[in-house]
Structure 1
Amino acid sequence: MKPLRLACGIGLPLLLSACALTPPPSGVEAVTPSQWQAPTPGAAETANAASLPHHGTLTDLSQWWQQQNDPLLVELIDAAQAASPTVADAVSRIEQSRANSVSADAALLPKLDGTITSSRTNMQPPLPLSTITQAELQPSWEADLFGGNRDTSRAALARLRGAQANWHDARVSVAAEVANRYYSLRTCNKLVTVTQEDADSREETARLSDLSAKAGFQAPATAALARASAAEARGRLTQQYASCDLDVKALVQLTAMDEATLRNKMAASTPPPTQPIVIDSLPARVLLQRPDVFIAEQEVAAASAEVGNAQAARYPRLTLSGSIGAARYHSAGVTTDLQTWSIGPITLSLPLFDGGARAANVDASEARYDSAVSAYRGTVRQAVREVEEALVNLQSTSSRSKDARAAVEGYRAAYEGAESLYRNGMANLLDLEDSRRLRLASELNAVTLERERMSAWISLYRAAGGGWRNPDAGRTASATAIRPTSSDSE
């Protein structure tokens, strides 16, 4: 009768384990637009520029920095990624997540502990002193009847995968930040050149105006206006130099490079023409290349597994332990060797009353799951927005570039004409200064527009995932996925 009861006691949780626990799905859908609303920049828009095909592929995008043919830019990005505390923190998180994953996997396996004990006993006379030495192996194992430990292992693995993607995301962010600051410095140096030329021109006008005023050909007020214009140009030039210095300081902080070395490298390096990427198509599945989307997806999977673990905690637990060992007993000159072993106890733990704590843990884990799903969908929407914004900025800067060049040429020709008339006494200084301001504004706008366009390219690089390769991109079916669209199937 007793063996029957024991068998029933052990078999009961096994029968209960057949009752399926139903944690929420580890994957959810996130709807993306069937096509981008903003136009993608194609080859026609950059026909006059040296361009690099991208076609929405990962390989070309990941090699974009190398394809810029700017060794200094690549060197600065590599230095920044090596020195970045953000990247170092991401590496640390990978190690922590890997350790957690190993620990979670270990819970599924039997455990084996070893003990060695020795004691000396003094009993009452006439019993002699005795020494007992014992070595023992103690195995134990918990039967994962309801999958709670497996769910913990799955959650740890999902977070490890997310931490690995976060490392890529950190590297992409650092690369984009360095590139933005690098192009900002290059643009600043161009603006220095433009501002220097303007300042030199105004200085020359002021010199000629002073000579003319001293000779009595111009009023002193005209000469004063020319001097004021020259002073304004010098102030603008000083401000521009300061702006470039700030960019240098920022690059020094990002790359941990000595400032003198960085300045020498910048001075010795001749920046090649910018190399925009030609994108004939950018399918919506490009969002799967984004590390942050993958991280949010893995967090949904981890939260689902944690719901399963919390549900399993409400059911019985079955553990089995035992021991095998050897002992030596020495007393009154007599030594006795013993061998011991045991199987058991077999422990069945039944949760009877906990004041609702386990049920509350299930509710809390389900709430965290709902939050992870909401965050995932929000991340996808944010990704769509960033791609759309980058495409809008690219389209805008592309459309404005031709007009900006035409404006520079027109205002430059108008200024040269006004300057010629002024030198021949056929125009006043006010007309010349108006033409000069218009020319300077157009040149500054053209240089700034070039910088804005490069910033838009970098934004698209980040929005498209920066060339990171989703480890699940080749799987046949994804539990958590962006819903396929008509443009993706083409």
Structure 2
Amino acid sequence: MTRSLATFAAALAAVLLAACAGGPTRVEPLPAADLPGQWQAPLPHNGQAADLARWWEQFDDPTLARLVAAAQAVNPTLATARSRIAQARATRVGAGAALLPQVDADASIVRGRQDFVSPLGTLAQGGVQAAWEIDLFGANRAGRDAAQARLEGAQANWHAARVSVAAEVASAYVGLRACEAQLVTTRTDADSRGETARLTELSARAGFQPPAVAALSRASAAQARAQLSAQQAQCDVSVKALVALTGIAEPALREQLAAASTQLPQPAQIGVAAVPGELLNQRPDLHVAARELVAASADVSQARARRWPRITLSGSISAARFEAAGVTGDGTLWSLGPLAVSLPLFDGGTRAANVEAAKARYDEAAASYRATLRGAVREVEEALVQLDATARQTEDARIAVEGYEASFKATDARFRGGLASLFELEDARRSAAQANSQYIDLQRQRVNAWIALYRALGGGWTPADHSASAGHEPVVK
């Protein structure tokens, strides 16, 4: 018997040593993908990187900051993200607990006879049992690391959702203000066409204008009224979109919006780091992708470790007291062991398949990380291009508005003096209206380009922010 035990011990030692030598090797996280050395689009000037931290407060429109805060408080995407943080935190606690001993306690009391001759007695006992898996090959440590990485990713994802919601609300708000400005222009145009139609009708009745000219003026006025109704409906739809985003009742929202009607908010400029690699420290979605990559690496390590022996150690201690016929007896029992080793011998390839599946998930996470990184660079470049383009167009658009407006006023004066035809007047009016509409739309595009840049740069997020608790209220940035 002794020789058999010695043989078994030697064999067990050989297995463990071999496992230690050929155990799982941690898959290193993917290094940062190659990034361009500099931005290809022109950078905005006079910006400060710190502006992103409280960017919405730096607009000249306090209504926008209030709407962003309201939307972040009620948005279902943010609520889902908070829930996922709580789930990830609970998973992390469970994964960490696997590294610690599991301890259970029990107690019981029994009253009765043990056999036909023993007197009636009472037996009370209680004990503690403990079991611990010795994580020799790191399976449980890898599980804990994966859970920790996913928790950090869930926390960063909450910030990504917050930035996305803020940008969506801001874009909707800017769209509404642009619509209101267009509405003013459309109403002015409709009033002008209506007055022209009135005067032309009087002139036609007096015989100074042919009936065809009067019909044309009436048609132009009717067209302007139809455009006015369509523009008003578009603005009403924009208000209802903001109601859905912010959760504010429509009457209360309209009251807030009335304070700065038709005025497009003007944002503070944003500084952009000259090196695209700074995006790695600014984008929460990149942090999410990176942490998922780390978690996938840990999953590979855990799957590999599951192919090697599992060693567990258990023990117990208990105390009992027995009383019968005035006789009392008590005592304590304890045990240490067994030290159990589980050797996986044959599982039909299940464990090997789990390793391959984990590797495939790692490759998927790596591809996703690269794609997210490329997408982040693209978003910044596109926002920079839009900013540069709108900046170069703004002055020309303003000159066009002033020129066409002056031309329309001159043609209108000539028309009233009988020196210009209605066709000339309508052509001048149409050119002036189109130029003004294009100028307003250009202003909207420029503000939206700033918002897109804010979102592309991560909205002021830093890696330290992922420690925020899921229970915290969203912070307006």
Q: What range is the shorter-chain TM-score in?
A: over 0.9
Selected match of 2:277 from 257, 276, 285: 285
**1:378 has 2:381 as partner:** no
Bigger shift: 201-210 or 118-127?
Answer: 118-127
Q: Does 1:237 align with 2:228?
A: yes
Secondary structure at 2:41 match in 1:
coil
Output aligned runs, 1:148-159, within 5 Å.
148-159=139-150
Aligned residues: 461
**Equivalent residue of 1:466, what SS?**
coil
> Residue 330 of structure 2: which of 337, 353, 360 is its match?
337
Contact 1:178–1:254, Cα closer than 8 Å, also in 2: yes
Q: 2:174–2:264: 8 Å Cα contact kept in structure 1?
A: no
2:418 pairs with 410, 422, 425, which one? 425
Q: Pick from 249, 267, 279: which aligns with 1:258?
A: 249
| 1:28 aligned partner | 31
CA RMSD of aligned residues (A): 1.9
Match of 1:275 in 2: 267
| CA deviation string 1:353-382 (max 9, x = no partner) | 111100000000000000000000011011
2-structure distance, mates of 1:402, 1:359: 66
Partner deviation per Cα, 1:195-233 (whole Å, 9 max, x = no partner): 111011101101101111111110111111111111111
Partner of 2:401: 408
Matched AA of 2:269: I
Q: Deviations over 1:446-475 (max 9, x none)?
A: 0001001111111111111111012399xx
- Give the distance between the partners of 1:437 and 1:323, measured in 2 at CA: 92
Structure 2 residue ranges without an equivalent (≥5): 467-477
In structure 1, stretches of 5+ residues that fail to align are 44-52, 474-490
Query: Contact between 2:44 and 2:388, CA under 8 Å: does it hold in 1?
Result: yes
User: Greater shift after overlay, 431-440 or 266-275?
Assistant: 266-275
Q: Tell me the secondary structure at the aligned position of residue 191 of structure 1.
A: helix
1:321 corresponds in structure 2 to 314
Equivalent residue for 1:454?
447
In structure 2, the residue matched to 1:369 is: 362
Q: TM-score, normalised by structure 1?
A: 0.90
Change (3 A) 1:103 1:191: same
Give the CA deviation at 1:121: 4.7
| 1:137 partner amino acid | V
SS in 1 for 2:385: helix
State the AA in 1 paired with 2:355: V
CA change 1:68–1:291 in 2 (3 A) is same
Deviation at 1:276, TM superposition (A): 4.2
Measured after TM superposition, the shift of residue 435 of structure 1 is: 0.7
Give the whole-Å Cα distance in 2 for the aligned partners of 1:116 and 1:312: 37
Q: Deviations over 1:417-441 (max 9, x none)?
A: 1111100001110110011111100
Task: Measure the CA separation in 2 of the matches of 1:401 and 1:125.
Answer: 106
Structure 2: how far apart are the matches of 1:280 and 1:79? 28
Conserved? CA contact 1:131–1:331, under 8 Å = yes
Q: CA deviation at 1:11?
A: 4.5
Shift of the alpha carbon at 1:272? 7.4
Return the alpha-carbon distance in structure 2 between the equivalents of residues 317 and 281 of structure 1.
50
> Are the aligned partners of 1:104 and 1:149 in contact in 2 as well (CA < 8 Å)?
yes
CA distance in 2, matches of 1:86, 1:409: 45
Distance 1:461 1:241 in 2: 30
Return the alpha-carbon distance in structure 2 between the equivalents of residues 457 and 117 of structure 1. 70
Letter in 1 for 2:373: V
> Which residue number in structure 1 is paired with residue 470 of structure 2?
none
After superposition, the C-alpha distances for 1:163-215 in whole angstroms (9 at most, x for unaligned) are 01001001000100010011111111111111111011101101101111111
Structure-2 separation of matches of 1:358 and 1:317: 14
- After TM superposition, the structure 1 stretch with the greater mean CA deviation from structure 2, 164-173 or 326-335, is 326-335
Amino acid in structure 1 at the alignment position of 2:344: P
Cα distance between partner residues in 2 of 1:269 and 1:386:
31
| Corresponding residue of 2:471 | none
What does 1:20-99 correspond to in 2, within 5 Å? Answer: 20-43=23-46, 53-54=47-48, 57=49, 59-99=50-90
Kindly indicate whether the alpha-carbon contact (under 8 Å) linking 1:28 and 1:373 is maintained by their aligned counterparts in 2: no
1:295 match: 288
1:333 to partner: Cα distance:
4.0
Structure 2: how far apart are the matches of 1:280 and 1:94?
30
C-alpha spacing 1:261/1:278, structure 2 compared with 1 (3 Å) = same
What letter matches 1:441 in structure 2? Q
Distance 1:70 1:6, change over 3 A: farther
Residue of structure 2 in register with 1:217 after alignment: 208
Q: Secondary structure at the match of 2:236?
A: helix
Match of 2:474 in 1: none
Change (3 A) 1:120 1:6: farther
Q: What TM-score comes out, normalization by structure 2 length? A: 0.92
How far off its partner does 1:246 sit?
A: 0.8
CA 318–128 in structure 1, closer or farther in 2 if over 3 Å, else same? same
Which of 137, 147, 167 aligns to 1:146? It is 137
Q: CA deviation at 1:33?
A: 1.2
Cα separation, 1, equivalents of 2:34 and 2:365: 16
Structure 1 residue 63: deviation in Å?
1.4
User: Alignment identity in percent?
Assistant: 51
Cα distance in 1 between the residues matched to 2:185 and 2:14? 85
Note if contact 1:14-1:145 (Cα within 8 Å) is conserved in structure 2: no
Other structure's SS at 1:63 match: helix
CA contact (8 A) 1:26 1:305 kept: no
Partner deviation per Cα, 1:95-150 (whole Å, 9 max, x = no partner)? 11111111111111112111112334545423334432210011111110000000
Is the alpha carbon distance of 1:154 and 1:384 closer, same or farther for their aligned partners in structure 2, counting shifts above 3 Å? same
Q: Distance in 2 between matches of 1:315 and 1:464?
A: 45
Indicate conservation of the 8 Å contact 2:16/2:309, yes or no: no
Corresponding residue SS for 1:254: helix
**2 CA distance for matches of 1:376 and 1:141?**
37
**CA distance 1:272–1:402, shift in 2 (3 Å):** closer
CA contact (8 A) 1:13 1:145 kept: no
Partners in 1 of 2:270 and 2:242 — Cα distance?
28
Task: Tell me which residue corresponds to 1:442.
Answer: 435
Quote the offset at 1:21 in angstroms: 1.9
The match for 2:459 is: 466
Shift of 1:331: 3.4
Closer, same or farther: CA 472–188 of 1 in aligned 2, 3 Å: closer
